[in-house]
Amino acid sequence: MIMGQDCIGVCVIFLCHDGKGNFLMARRSANVRDEPNVWDFGGGGIEFNETIEDALRREIKEEYNRPTA
């Protein structure tokens, strides 16, 4: 990225559930400056030339340290 250059950010968000109405959520660390201690679903930005599926796999692994099929 170039300083001062406008860009469009695209992200993915995922919901992990057990099919019985229970969802897995993560609590943000108290040390983060952006909304500390907030519970939310996982997600993150899509990298340049990355597919949506690859971004979801990467984000799930990053957030929950779990490989995906």
* Residue (of 10, 43, 37) closest to 24 by Cα position: 43
* DSSP structural state of residue 14: E
Instruction: Tell me whether residue 51 is in a domain.
Output: yes
pTM, two decimal places: 0.68
Instruction: Tell me whether residue 1 is in a domain.
Output: no
* Residue (of 30, 12, 14, 9) closest to 64 by Cα position: 14
* Counted domains in the chain: 1
Q: What are the tens digits of pLDDT across the range 3-15?
A: 777 778 899 999 9
Per-residue pLDDT for 67 more than 90?
no
Instruction: Tell me whether residue 50 is in a domain.
Output: yes
- Residue 69's pLDDT is 59
Instruction: Tell me whether residue 20 is in a domain.
Output: yes
Within 8 A by CB and 6+ apart from 2, the residues are none
Residue 45 is part of which domain span?
11-64
Instruction: Tell me whether residue 43 is in a domain.
Output: yes
Instruction: Tell me whether residue 23 is in a domain.
Output: yes
Q: What are the tens digits of pLDDT across the range 37-65?
A: 889 888 899 998 999 999 999 998 888 88
- Residue 54's pLDDT is 96
